[in-house]
Chains A and B, each alone.
Chain A
Amino acid sequence: MDVKLPQLAEGVESGTVVNILVSEGQEVEKDQPIMELETQKAVGSIPSPQAGIVIKIHVREGMEVSVGQVLISIDNEQSTAPAAAQATARAVGGASRPPPAEAATHRQPAPGVQSPEQFDDSYRYQSKSGVAPPAAPSIRKIANDLGIDLSRIKGSETGGRIVLQDLRAYIQQLQEIATQGKPATVEKAGTAQAPKEAVDFSRWGPIRREKMSSVRRTVSQRMVQSWTTIPKIDQFDEADITGLLAFRKKYASAYEKKKAHLTLTPFVLKAVAGALKKHPRANASLDETANEIVFKDYTHIGVAVDSDAGLIVPVVRDVDKKNLVDLARELNELTEKTRQRKITVDELQGGTFTLSNQGSVGGSYFTPIIYAPQVAILGTGRGAPKAVVLRGKITIRTRLPLCLSYDHRVLDGADAVRFLRDIVAGLESFPEGDVRLK
């Protein structure tokens, strides 16, 4: 069977092959990651839909692939068409989305200017003879004056000759993107700018250079995008988690028997999910083009994971509907998969809120950056014993430093404080009944 690139997510039609994890002739198991793909949104792995032997790899690392394109061919004797369809549907993350073939037909380029979402800047003119793309001298002059690289433009005339209309359409598309803002093109637009003056660090001592990994680049782009476009406020607070720690100590071994490692994170997830239910704006997104706020009836919380490859944020679905033991177990699995780079693109998407817990590493307060298009993120530091006044007496309690960073376009200060207070309350009065195993 041919393994095709499944529909990855809404609006994601293509990606770049970062790593091919199998080789021709290799035996693969069902769900074994076959390659890693970098899309506009994230880096994730593509699982094999079937067990079998890889007979051909159709793509190369660094290649741009689009939905429906054949990635590899697998020889499996029981290969049947429904299996392929099923596999695709599974990789897609639900049967409700259109199958790749159908999705592909929606991609027919509209004549003239495409919408920024459709705009594909991956085209490069290539000639075996090594000549420049065909265009009249007058067109080349205009392009040269404007600093436009003609090899990025597909010519519409015979032999792919670029005419003024093609140049105009291309420039208009660039303009659309510049004015509407599209995260994916941030990097590309960035490279078009005049290169920053290079600093020669070796003047002051020996240096070493390392290529930015694709994860690093993605993180870098998204952080710049968030930092430069979202008016952010940071709200600090502290939660008394002495009680939670006691629960944790009391139930940890019981959880271990259920193959769930109980950390503080599931507690925080539960408390946050509860607060999000009460404050739906913190679970919303801003649709700037429509000037609307999008409220979500689901609560999917992303959890930042520190992996060898860099920061990756897998998403725990429906946190509000899951019990503590399931959450603990799922978190363990997701973290493990992330660290082994087996996480799929689908598992990195759809988050409505993010938790960045640095407690296991240490540290106190920090101000996280919002993971757009979400509107808020909670950063938690390490719980530490502190002398606090409780009922008129100084006692030692474990206090958890919290920082809620939020998008002021959606949440106002009072909303945010109320939301954060509810998180604190959720942590401080966590019902033991929710911890106890049934």
Chain B
Amino acid sequence: MEPIKCEIVVLGAGPGGYTAAFYAADRGKKVTLVEQNARLGGICLNSGCIPSKALLHATAIFREAQASASRGIEFDKPKIDFPKLRAWKDNILEKLGGGIAGLAEKRGVQIIQGRGHFEDSQTLRVETAEGQKFVNYEHAIIAVGSKPAMPSAFDLGNKRIMTSTEALDLADIPAALLIVGAGYIGMELGTVYAALGSQVAVLEAMPSILPGVDPDLARPVSRFARKAFKEVRLNTKVSKMATAGKQIKVTMQTEKETREELYDGVLVSVGRAPNHGNLGLENTRVTKDDQGFIKCNAQQQTDDPKIFAIGDINGGALLAHRASKEARIAVDVILGEQNAFANIVIPAVVYTDPEVAWCGLTESEAKQKGIEVKVAKFLWGASGRALTLDRPDGLTKLIIEPETERILGVGIVGVGAGELISEGVLAVEMGATAMDLAHCVHPHPTLSETLMEAAEGFYGTATHTLTRKET
């Protein structure tokens, strides 16, 4: 069979892959996009960011309705129509997936559904429903992403032991749900399941939830979790799981003791692993690190000059928007332009209640690297808008370079933090100083004012707080 010829083949149609394919096509390249799933969009769209955010939004109303009672507005106990909830969520995924396919078609990006396997540095074999196809390419971009990690000790083949993928299907609402790992995935899904009626217990091996997040930003989430979940157990590890009738028997260890408990369901959210299996990388010069992530340089080039890699498959921060940025860098480099992943601010958002978001340098990172910074904080208790929303549980802080007053990082916890952080990204990317931010008029009353007031606070002139310069 005649091989398909293209200039760029992109393997994987997640936010990294489809951005790479579209951008390359917009820049005049002949592009083939290979994806094993019928619906484009990758993990993010199908079993990650999008469904989880849909469910978080849908269930937030439970908490809002409850809180409303203290404001004098009461509701009857809500009823949940699970098929309808699932259908609504799936409809969003269908709409977005279809949208991507439509955009690909209009751009002339050829889509092949099937599993890709590298034959050599110029040829990709694709196993499709209609048989094998061969793609002869000039450059390849690997964007195959990651999957939830499932330690083999937990992998009993029991459907009551879930990863985020299954949990997002909402097949069942276990009465007693154990979440192993209090990272952002565990905390977000715990929030969903707690609202839907599960008694949620969260275990974390580290001494705090959301490991890596600045402690002051994690604290309001921790307060929420202790209220909404049955239990948050830190410094605890699961050593064993076993099927016990319709339940799972979980053996866990703290420093002091070993406990055995029964749960109706377990969600394992201990991290993500690269999807590198069976790609035929051994037929190319691509190399991987000891965790199986593909090694590449700041130009996204792997050790094989024809092959680039973007997104989760390279490790680091596993974020869709990072993959999309890397996609553009890879395509620019293929086009012979100057570009590299350097000095790029990648924001992160945790969609817990309240949300946590940060960008640039964090306080923990500064401490760890011995970078001297000043931190300007604004507590949301002093924000009029936060009080009208009945959500004073927030904090906005700026990480500032003392000599230049340049904003190196921004951290926010509070309702809607994810929407607020982009102003921080702009400030850090533009090299803005705290004075720049203080001088920009922010509308009143909004939560965005907290950024301005934090900056004003740095100079001791915040209107709504007394001088709280630094900590």
- Residues on A close to B: CB < 8 A? 127-137, 140, 144-145, 147, 155, 158-162
Contacting pair B431 A129 (CB below 8 A): no
Q: Take A130-B371, A136-B430 as given contacts and tell me if A144 and B338 are in contact as well, using a CB distance cutoff of 8 Å.
A: yes
Chain B window 388-404, contacts with chain A (Cβ cutoff 8 Å), 1 for yes, 0 for no: 00000000000001011
**Across-interface contacts of B406 in A (CB, < 8 A):** 131, 134, 159
Q: Take A128-B403, A134-B431, A136-B430 as given contacts and tell me if A158 and B371 are in contact as well, using a CB distance cutoff of 8 Å.
A: no
Q: Which of A128, A130, A161 contacts B431 (CB 8 A)?
A: A161
> Which residue of chain A is the closest to B431 with respect to CB atoms?
A134
Q: Take A128-B371, A128-B372, A129-B361 as given contacts and tell me if A161 and B430 are in contact as well, using a CB distance cutoff of 8 Å.
A: yes
Q: Once bound together, how far apart are the Cα atoms of A158 and B339, in whole Å?
A: 27
Q: Take A134-B431, A140-B343 as given contacts and tell me if A127 and B338 are in contact as well, using a CB distance cutoff of 8 Å.
A: no
Kindly name the residue among B340, B372, B404, B408 whose own CB sees the greatest number of chain A CB atoms within 10 A: B404
Instruction: Report if B373 contacts A (CB, 8 A).
Output: yes
Instruction: Report if B433 contacts A (CB, 8 A).
Output: yes
Contacting pair B404 A127 (CB below 8 A): yes
**Across-interface contacts of A162 in B (CB, < 8 A):** 431
What are 8 A-B pairs at a CB distance below 8 A? A129-B361, A136-B429, A140-B343, A144-B338, A155-B431, A159-B431, A160-B404, A161-B430
Q: Once bound together, how far apart are the Cα atoms of A147 and B338, in whole Å?
A: 9
**Across-interface contacts of A136 in B (CB, < 8 A):** 429-431
Instruction: Report if B337 contacts A (CB, 8 A).
Output: yes
Residues of B300-356 at the interface with A, using a CB-CB cut-off of 8 Å, are 337-340, 342-343
Instruction: Report if B173 contacts A (CB, 8 A).
Output: no
**Across-interface contacts of B337 in A (CB, < 8 A):** 145
Q: Which of B338, B371, B372, B404 contacts A159 (CB 8 A)?
A: B404
Closest CB-CB distance, B167 to chain A, in whole Å?
Answer: 37
> Which residue of chain A is the closest to B406 with respect to CB atoms?
A159
**Across-interface contacts of A133 in B (CB, < 8 A):** 431
Contacting pair A135 B401 (CB below 8 A): no
Contacting pair A159 B433 (CB below 8 A): yes
Q: Once bound together, how far apart are the Cα atoms of A158 and B150, in whole Å?
A: 50
Q: Once bound together, how far apart are the Cα atoms of A137 and B345, in whole Å?
A: 10
Q: Once bound together, how far apart are the Cα atoms of A144 and B435, in whole Å?
A: 28
Contacting pair A132 B343 (CB below 8 A): yes
> Which residue of chain A is the closest to B373 with respect to CB atoms?
A129
**Across-interface contacts of B343 in A (CB, < 8 A):** 131-132, 140
Contacting pair B408 A131 (CB below 8 A): yes
Q: Take A128-B372, A145-B338, A147-B338 as given contacts and tell me if A159 and B430 are in contact as well, using a CB distance cutoff of 8 Å.
A: no
**Across-interface contacts of A144 in B (CB, < 8 A):** 338-340
Q: Which of A129, A132, A134, A161 contacts B371 (CB 8 A)?
A: A129
Q: Once bound together, how far apart are the Cα atoms of A160 and B406, in whole Å?
A: 9
Residues of B352-370 at the interface with A, using a CB-CB cut-off of 8 Å, are 361, 366, 369
Q: Which of A145, A147, A158 contacts B433 (CB 8 A)?
A: A158
Q: Once bound together, how far apart are the Cα atoms of A145 and B408, in whole Å?
A: 25
Contacting pair B430 A131 (CB below 8 A): no
**Across-interface contacts of B339 in A (CB, < 8 A):** 144
A129-B401, A130-B369, A161-B431 are known; give 6 further A-B pairs, CB within 8 A: A130-B371, A131-B361, A134-B430, A159-B404, A159-B405, A162-B431
Closest CB-CB distance, B408 to chain A, in whole Å?
Answer: 6
Closest CB-CB distance, B431 to chain A, in whole Å?
Answer: 2
Closest CB-CB distance, A148 to chain B, in whole Å?
Answer: 11
> Which residue of chain A is the closest to B366 with respect to CB atoms?
A129
Kindly name the residue among B373, B406, B408 whose own CB sees the greatest number of chain A CB atoms within 10 A: B406
Instruction: Report if B432 contacts A (CB, 8 A).
Output: yes
Q: Once bound together, how far apart are the Cα atoms of A160 and B405, in whole Å?
A: 10
**Across-interface contacts of B429 in A (CB, < 8 A):** 136-137
Closest CB-CB distance, A307 to chain B, in whole Å?
Answer: 44
**Across-interface contacts of B401 in A (CB, < 8 A):** 127-129, 131
Q: Which 5 A-B pairs have the closest CB atoms?
A: A134-B431, A159-B433, A161-B431, A132-B343, A129-B371
**Across-interface contacts of A137 in B (CB, < 8 A):** 429-430
Q: Once bound together, how far apart are the Cα atoms of A162 and B406, in whole Å?
A: 13
Q: Once bound together, how far apart are the Cα atoms of A222 and B401, in whole Å?
A: 43
Closest CB-CB distance, B56 to chain A, in whole Å?
Answer: 31
**Across-interface contacts of B366 in A (CB, < 8 A):** 129
Instruction: Report if B166 contacts A (CB, 8 A).
Output: no
Q: Once bound together, how far apart are the Cα atoms of A161 and B434, in whole Å?
A: 13
Instruction: Report if B436 contacts A (CB, 8 A).
Output: yes
**Across-interface contacts of B361 in A (CB, < 8 A):** 129, 131
**Across-interface contacts of B340 in A (CB, < 8 A):** 144
Kindly name the residue among B372, B401, B431 whose own CB sees the greatest number of chain A CB atoms within 10 A: B431
Closest CB-CB distance, A153 to chain B, in whole Å?
Answer: 12
Q: Once bound together, how far apart are the Cα atoms of A159 and B408, in whole Å?
A: 12
**Across-interface contacts of A145 in B (CB, < 8 A):** 337-338
Contacting pair A159 B373 (CB below 8 A): no
Q: Once bound together, how far apart are the Cα atoms of A159 and B458, in whole Å?
A: 15
Q: Take A130-B371, A134-B404, A134-B406 as given contacts and tell me if A158 and B338 are in contact as well, using a CB distance cutoff of 8 Å.
A: no
**Across-interface contacts of B404 in A (CB, < 8 A):** 127, 134, 159-160
Q: Once bound together, how far apart are the Cα atoms of A252 and B403, in whole Å?
A: 68
Contacting pair A135 B338 (CB below 8 A): no
> Which residue of chain A is the closest to B399 with respect to CB atoms?
A129
Q: Once bound together, how far apart are the Cα atoms of A99 and B292, in whole Å?
A: 68
Q: Once bound together, how far apart are the Cα atoms of A144 and B343, in whole Å?
A: 12
Closest CB-CB distance, B399 to chain A, in whole Å?
Answer: 9
Contacting pair A158 B435 (CB below 8 A): yes
**Across-interface contacts of B373 in A (CB, < 8 A):** 129
Chain B window 14-53, contacts with chain A (Cβ cutoff 8 Å), 1 for yes, 0 for no: 0000000000000000000000000000000000000000
